Structure 1
Amino acid sequence: MKAGPETVRFLQYGIRVIRNGLQPDQGGQQPETQKPIEGPPILKAKVEKTINDMKNGKAAGPDQIPIELLQALGNWGIDQLTKLLNRIYDTGNIPKDMLISTFIRKNSRKNRELQNVKTTEQSAS
């Protein structure tokens, strides 16, 4: 599989975030901070299971990273992703790119009244 420029940029960004102690590019702004969550760390096995349980061949989300790319990164990618997720979990510092969500309106074919409209969320994370 050939990685596009967005994917390569995302991976470079992720590696830089991991190496620099979660100091993402913020354009001079402070990173979004939330209260750290108390609890056990995110386990590598859970990250691996989540990635492997995702269906192949689906459209990428707003981050333009297909699941096949995450799967192709193998053990190294799962290690790096687990470290990143645990750092976010421990510090409460969430990179701005991960706070972007897109809501997609889904109408029921039978009932198109506004109160019956469902939404689905795609996060850029």
Structure 2
Amino acid sequence: MSAPIRLGIVGLGAVAQAVHLPLLVKRPDLFTIASICDLSPEVTEVLGDRFGVPGSQRFHVLDEMLDHGGLDALMVLARGRTPRRFWRVLSGGCRSSARSRWPTPPRRSTGSSRRCPTSGCRRSCSGT
């Protein structure tokens, strides 16, 4: 059997606390909460303690969590403008090796999109 998927959780609001995180910890054979990220330091600390996330894997800034690495997947459990900002952070950093492996957000095809030769994102960059 393969190793559990190492998840990074972005957004630790009421639904994440009551629904998503408890369900994830019920399946340790499939998922590990590897890191968490939220704007509130208090919430991050309390939930980190509750769900066994090491102190070095608790973040308040998305960029820091992504740069730290060690994740197989991300769950974005935020609402409002946060998901838009999230996609801007991920897709805008194509030249950064830490972000080049993350996909661009789904969007309408314009018919003239080029893919970056390094990461495959739909941006015109040098790929370096």
TM-score bucket of the superposed structures, by smaller chain: under 0.3
The structure, 1 or 2, with the larger RCO (C-alpha pairs under 8 Å, 6+ apart) is: 1
Report which of the two has the higher share of helix. Answer: 1
Which TM-score applies when normalising by structure 2?
A: 0.25
Which TM-score applies when normalising by structure 1?
A: 0.25
Q: Which structure has the greater CA radius of gyration?
A: 1
